[in-house]
Amino acid sequence: NRLVGEVAHSVICLTPFLPWAHSHRRHHVHHNHKDRDYSHQWYVREEKDDLDPVYQAAHKLRLLQLPFNYLIYLLIGIPDGGHVIFYGRMWEGVSMKQKLDSAISVAVSVATAGTLWMNMGTADFTVVCMVPWMVLSWWLFM
């Protein structure tokens, strides 16, 4: 599972496998729970007007954000914690061993992206890697 996950996620999808698996498992444990579901910012439609103005604006502009949301989710960790830098509620109570193990997945993703970028150049890397990655992002957050 780990080897296939590292190849499929960390190398092909440029998404660190173990942090993704960690948040994905927690997401499914609390699926659709308003407060405890990881990976989503839920709100009740009737409470939409009571949301923070930043969230209201973000919701209205979500279609423009779609290509970038996955990168924001992975790096900044909104709403549950970072997948590249380990902070936030997703990492509360997680052992240092688990964080170090997850750091290997991050290193594999970063090394893969860096190697591809160096060998392909910026233009080819953008067309071959980042455009499909942005389409994946759009599909995940739609």
Q: How far is CA 62 from CA 16, 40, 53, 87, 141, in A?
A: 24, 13, 14, 25, 9
Which of these, 74, 82, 88, 87, lies nearest to 140 by C-alpha position?
A: 74
Confidence of residue 42 (pLDDT cuts 50, 70, 90): low
- Residue 48 token pair: 């939409």
Which of these, 48, 47, 29, lies nearest to 39 by C-alpha position?
A: 29
Average pLDDT over residues 48-77: 75
Q: In one letter, which amino acid is 109?
A: S
Q: In one letter, which amino acid is 126?
A: T
Q: How far apart are CA 44 and CA 14, in angstroms?
A: 33
pLDDT digits (tens, 9 = 90+) for 86-96: 988 889 999 99
Residues with Cβ within 8 Å of residue 74, at least 6 apart in sequence: 15, 16, 82, 83, 84
DSSP summary character for residue 84: S
* Whether residue 66 has pLDDT greater than 80: no
Q: How far apart are CA 5 and CA 1, in angstroms?
A: 6
Question: What was the pLDDT predicted at 71?
Answer: 78
Q: Which residue has the higher pLDDT, 46 or 86?
A: 86
